[in-house]
Structure 1
Amino acid sequence: MQGGRGIIEKASERAEGERRSDGRARRLRAIKAGNVRVLALADEYERELLVRQLLRQGWSIRRTSHFLLARRAKAAEEPVLEERLLAHWLSEQESDNRLVDYLQQELVRSGWLQSEADFSAVLNALIVSFEPTAPLRAWRLFALNTFTQLSERIAQSPASLATSIENNEGSETIAAFAAIYRRLHSLLCGKSLLDVGCACAYWPLLVAKGGHCLPGSIVAVDRRAEALRLSALLAETLGLATQLRLEQQDLCQPAFLRLGQFDTVTAIHLLEHLEESELPLALSQLLKVTRRRLLIAVPYEEQAQACYGHRQVFSPAKLQFWGKWCLEQLEEEAVYWCEDLLGGLLVIERRQQP
């Protein structure tokens, strides 16, 4: 769910192609993402037609579980030495955060995608390929499908959810975040919530839908305008726009503190996107806007996932270190603890004064 450069505004200029109703083969046109073109196919028959055409034109082809990958060298004088094509035949029901899993498992691990910019651009193009002439509708489909999947997973019993995660049933990331959100729900305190680095705002919208905070007391911030546009789109689709305030803010800038204080503050898979040298400032800022409880979730990784924009890795020992550091910064009495939660969860709780 990383945002590409203006994909919502620009996609309609890049993509054409409509299904023909007269029985003839439709004209296939792809959405451009850097030197990669992303193409949605109607079915396996159309896929085989494309394969034959590409082979005749000198493309090398590889198939994965969900994609057809093609690449062809260009002339030496061309600014881009290679062109690549990514074709898929996924259904609209699969346009949710499973797309992130598919790209990670089938393209990143094989080296076909590597940088954060390439991953983000291809993901955005992949999402829009489901509705190439209506990019807003494509993003609404993706966000709503993901939100629905999260809601259904959270409604499962803890044992069922744990089993589905263990058996890799469905989307790994949706199941993992459903488990994280379920635990965070149980740790909410007070009547106001600030979510920092909200991305598509799934978490604060789940809180708003569940009525866990007072109307108008839920604020979601992100430094990326694109993320906030997607959040607003989903909030409007769910009929929750009046219950969620969205603001473009950078955690490490002084203006962040103007948000005020909130009973619960959450930072879910945010800190790994910062440089380690930025952690003291970031944590200090988070503590200042926390009235009662700060909840920080991070992944545990052996190596930072560059395609997701991760800049550092966390371990249980490192999370404990920063938990103790936070207590040292607080003048009043406070407690902290860490939990294993598909990664780590750090809880900082200010003790209420009598």
Structure 2
Amino acid sequence: MKLHLETDAVGSVVDGALEPLRAAAGGVYRDEYVTVLRGPVPPGREIVHTPHFTVHAGEPLAVTHLLDLEDLDEDLTGLLQSELFEPGWVRGAELFERLFTGIVITCSADPLVAWESFYRNTIERQEAIGGHTGSAIEQFRPVHDHAVDLVVGESVLELGSCFGFLALRLAAQGRAVTASDLSVGTMQLLGAVAPRLGTPLATLVADAGHVPAADRSFDTVLAVHLLEHIDAPHGDRVLAEAVRLADRRVIVGVPYEDVADETFGHVRTVGPDDLSRWGLATGLSFEVHEHHGGWLVIDR
């Protein structure tokens, strides 16, 4: 899953931006679009009860939950999708991101403690043998496994890294990793959590189509589950920028979907013909293959 990416990704509203590290006083997260409350369901105005959430009528949208720190991991994506978004109780990537953030930061008086639990739980469950079969963690594990296997060299840039789980995994191998995203809040969050995990890395706030770095600055440049979130002209700029920045290899990974999943902010579908066309346009050596989605690998 990727909350994301080339839009602001996580937190509470200040002039439209989201702040993941602002405390949710009293277990309440509130912005101009949503209210999230951790605690018993207040009486009246309930629209629906699900196994983990209650949705309340009124403006703005209000959701109650009783999750705690142990429950926080990337599988929260699946809970929200299956219980609220797929049945149609809530719609839209913007609300998804705000609800996700509100649930996490209402689980602790210290938002950094809540996010650290989210990261640690996700990483531990990614590494667990057997994993959470069918969960978001289980679905993304082979994608990240494959991306790691494709990386060459010691210096790596990940474009549109969002929470940065792939970047953290590469940094844990001893590589020099830079995670980049357009979202200031997401990069602040990753920069704050990574040292607490013992895996420091560099973060960079940048549009993936215009990165302030010199030509061929990184051995490998990654754009994994990014291009489905942005329109075609922007995607072409991102691919050109990745080629400019890579000294040895560009790795593009995309999901294969029949319909773009709006819950996760997908705005288009990408198929193998698109990947081949992008590879041909670079004039470089490339190959396209399938592994839990599509992959384009470009080499100098």
What percent of counterpart residues are identical? 28
SS in 1 for 2:162: coil
Residue of structure 1 equivalent to 2:118 = 142
Residue of structure 2 equivalent to 1:68 = 54
Does structure 1 retain, via aligned residues, the 8 Å contact 2:229–2:265?
Answer: yes
**Quick one: which of 220, 231, 241 aligns to 2:190?**
231
**Quick one: which of 219, 222, 231 aligns to 1:266?**
222
Q: CA RMSD in A?
A: 2.2
C-alpha separation in 2, matches of 1:98 and 1:67: 15
Residue of structure 2 equivalent to 1:3 = 10
Residues 112-131 of structure 1 mapped to structure 2, 5 A cutoff:
112-131=89-108
Shift of 1:257: 4.0
Does structure 2 retain, via aligned residues, the 8 Å contact 1:144–1:234?
Answer: no
Does structure 2 retain, via aligned residues, the 8 Å contact 1:34–1:121?
Answer: no
Shift of 1:343: 1.7
Question: Which structure would you say has the larger Rg?
Answer: 1
Residue of structure 2 equivalent to 1:184 = 147
SS in 1 for 2:89: coil
- Tell whether 2:234 aligns with 1:248: no
The Cα offsets for residues 91-128 of structure 1, whole Å up to 9 and x where unpaired, read as 32111111111111111112222222211111111111
SS in 1 for 2:270: coil
Residue of structure 2 equivalent to 1:85 = 62
Does structure 2 retain, via aligned residues, the 8 Å contact 1:37–1:85?
Answer: yes
SS in 2 for 1:256: coil
C-alpha separation in 2, matches of 1:250 and 1:199: 12
Shift of 1:9: 4.7
Does structure 1 retain, via aligned residues, the 8 Å contact 2:32–2:60?
Answer: no
The change in CA–CA distance for 1:259 and 1:11 in structure 2 (over 3 A counts) is: farther
Q: Which runs of 4+ in 1 moved over 4 A?
A: none
Shift of 1:141: 1.7
Structure with greater contact order relative to length (CA < 8 Å, sep ≥ 6): 2
The change in CA–CA distance for 1:262 and 1:40 in structure 2 (over 3 A counts) is: same
C-alpha separation in 2, matches of 1:236 and 1:259: 29
Report the count of equivalent residues. Answer: 288
Does structure 1 retain, via aligned residues, the 8 Å contact 2:156–2:221?
Answer: yes
Residue of structure 1 equivalent to 2:14 = none
Residues 1-354 of structure 1 mapped to structure 2, 5 A cutoff:
1=3, 2-4=9-11, 5-12=17-24, 15-16=25-26, 30-41=28-39, 46-47=40-41, 50=42, 53-54=43-44, 59-72=45-58, 82-131=59-108, 133-150=109-126, 152-153=127-128, 156=129, 160=130, 165=133, 168=134, 172-211=135-174, 213=175, 217-241=176-200, 244-253=201-210, 255-258=211-214, 260-326=216-282, 328=283, 330=284, 334=285, 336-350=286-300
The change in CA–CA distance for 1:136 and 1:302 in structure 2 (over 3 A counts) is: same
Shift of 1:35: 4.3
C-alpha separation in 2, matches of 1:9 and 1:71: 28
The letter for the 2-side match of 1:293 is: R
The change in CA–CA distance for 1:259 and 1:219 in structure 2 (over 3 A counts) is: farther
TM-score, normalised with respect to structure 1: 0.75
Shift of 1:299: 1.3
C-alpha separation in 1, matches of 2:23 and 2:69: 18
C-alpha separation in 2, matches of 1:175 and 1:113: 25
> Unmatched 5+ residue regions in structure 1?
18-29, 73-81
C-alpha separation in 1, matches of 2:229 and 2:18: 21
Residue of structure 2 equivalent to 1:20 = none
Q: Would you tell me which structure has more helix in proportion to its own residues?
A: 1
C-alpha separation in 2, matches of 1:237 and 1:313: 37
TM-score, normalised with respect to structure 2: 0.87
> Unmatched 5+ residue regions in structure 2?
4-8, 12-16
SS in 2 for 1:8: coil
Does structure 1 retain, via aligned residues, the 8 Å contact 2:253–2:294?
Answer: yes
The Cα offsets for residues 201-222 of structure 1, whole Å up to 9 and x where unpaired, read as 21121112123x3xxx322211
